[in-house]
Amino acid sequence: MTCRVGGKALWTFGIIAVPFLGVFLYLIVNGESMTQRAESDSQAAADAQAAYIRDGAGTAASPAAQLGQLADLHAASKLSDDESAASEARVLAGPRYLGGSPTRRLPTIMSPSPSGMKGHCPP
């Protein structure tokens, strides 16, 4: 049996068009629930990211809250007078920065000489 050219064209069209029609029908039927799932997934990802940032940042209590906790511990005789005073001094001193003060300037690569830029460039 021989197949006509029209039959081949119809089969080719069917093989290409039927999968596309199936995908479009699936999207029409399930499109709204896909959107809801995507929104809930993005909200869960945003919540997880916020929790990760909070954990990494180490959301510390305010100095007033820390001083209150120290006073409670001292009143409950869990801290001695010396330990309480040292802890209060640390809280009142504020955060410490690694590598020196935050206003310390980094050394420059090429600082000008007292007489301007003479001596830095080859003659």
pLDDT at 44 (0 to 100): 93
pLDDT in tens, 3-44: 566 788 888 888 999 999 999 999 888 888 888 999 999 999
Is residue 71 assigned to a domain? yes
**Residue 43: its pLDDT value, please?**
94
Burial 91-119 (b: 16+ CB within 10 A, else e): beeeeeeeeeeeeeeeeeeeeeeeeeeee
The Cα–Cα gap between 102 and 109 comes to 20
Q: Using one digit for the tens of pLDDT, what is the confidence trace for 57-97?
A: 765 567 888 888 889 998 998 888 898 898 888 888 876 54
Query: In the listed set 9, 39, 59, which residue is the last one of a domain according to the structure?
Result: 59
pTM confidence score: 0.34
Which amino acid is it at 64? Answer: A
Distance in angstroms (rounded) separating the CA atoms of residues 70 and 64: 10
In a domain, 117, yes or no: no
Could you tell me the residue range of the domain that residue 72 belongs to? 61-93
42 in Cβ contact with 36 (< 8 Å): no
- 118 within domain boundaries: no
